[in-house]
Amino acid sequence: MNYIKIINILFLAILLTSCKDSVPKSTNTGTSAIKTTKDTTSRYNNVQAVKAKTPRTTLTQENHEDILLAFGSSMTQSKVVLHTTLGSLTIELFDETPLHRANFLYLTQSGYFDDTFFHRVVKDFIIQGGNSDLVSTARKRKQIGPRYRLASEVNPLRKHTYGAVSGAKEYRKNKEKMSAPYEFFIFIGPDISARHLNGEYTIFGQVIEGMDVVERIADLPTDSGEWPKTNVFIRAEIKD
């Protein structure tokens, strides 16, 4: 095995073992088989994939808030369309969570979400996106910023209701309630199942179109790690 292959395997191993970004009860260990293709347009009903843009500055825990908030203030858009292999859905981002809003827009514009998956499905509870077992995802995280975390913007008055979009957390016992920047989940209810989520996870958006697609993803069979047996590829674009 040559040196380059060893490095690629190490990147993949680090990604899968470190990505504990999850809501409670997740194992997030599924590694379903992947069939990749150079023709990425076929994954999204012939919607042209956007080439990833390499950020000028690597985000760190020290600089990310200044960079993201400045970026967010320059953006008038607050809607992101996620094109998936099962259809498209639209998320409206909340102004009341400026850091999470800016981060989601920044990652979208950078092309991070392209060719990530909805990689965790818990029927009648949540679907989670923003990760994959592709080496390209680990490389994107390294380019953008592998270690920054978002400060909590939890609003105690906001509750997880049908279609709410929240930031995942890297570990559950997180007294600061910081969000891991790359993964998010969409709550599908019922509301009573969200009691342990409310006040713990930052709700930063709402699905305003395409909940039928969310439900379609939620109905997919999964392996023991709650990873869909059929990969659901994502491509994200900011909606004007």
In order along its 240 residues, the chain shows pLDDT tens digits of 554 454 454 444 444 433 445 444 333 433 333 333 333 444 555 444 444 454 568 999 999 999 999 999 999 999 999 999 999 999 999 999 999 999 999 999 999 999 999 999 999 999 999 999 999 999 999 999 999 999 999 999 999 999 999 999 877 667 899 999 999 999 998 888 899 999 999 999 999 999 999 999 999 999 999 999 999 999 999 998
pLDDT value, residue 55: 53
pLDDT value, residue 170: 75
The values of phi and psi at residue 23, to 5°, are: -85, 170
Query: What is the residue-averaged pLDDT of the chain?
Result: 83
pLDDT value, residue 53: 53
- Please report, as a single letter, which amino acid is at residue 180: A
pLDDT value, residue 44: 56
Q: Work out the number of other CB atoms within 10 angstroms of the CB of residue 107.
A: 24
Packing angle, helices 64-73 and 98-110, rounded to 10: 80
Domain assignment of residue 171, given as a range: 3-239
CA proximity to 86, closest of 207, 189, 219, 208: 219
pLDDT digits (tens, 9 = 90+) for 64-97: 999 999 999 999 999 999 999 999 999 999 999 9
Spatial contact of 21 and 131, defined as CB atoms under 8 Å apart: yes
Enter the tokens of residue 14: 């680090």
Number of domains in the chain: 1
Specify which residues 209 forms β-bridges with.
90
CATH number at residue 174: 2.40.100.10
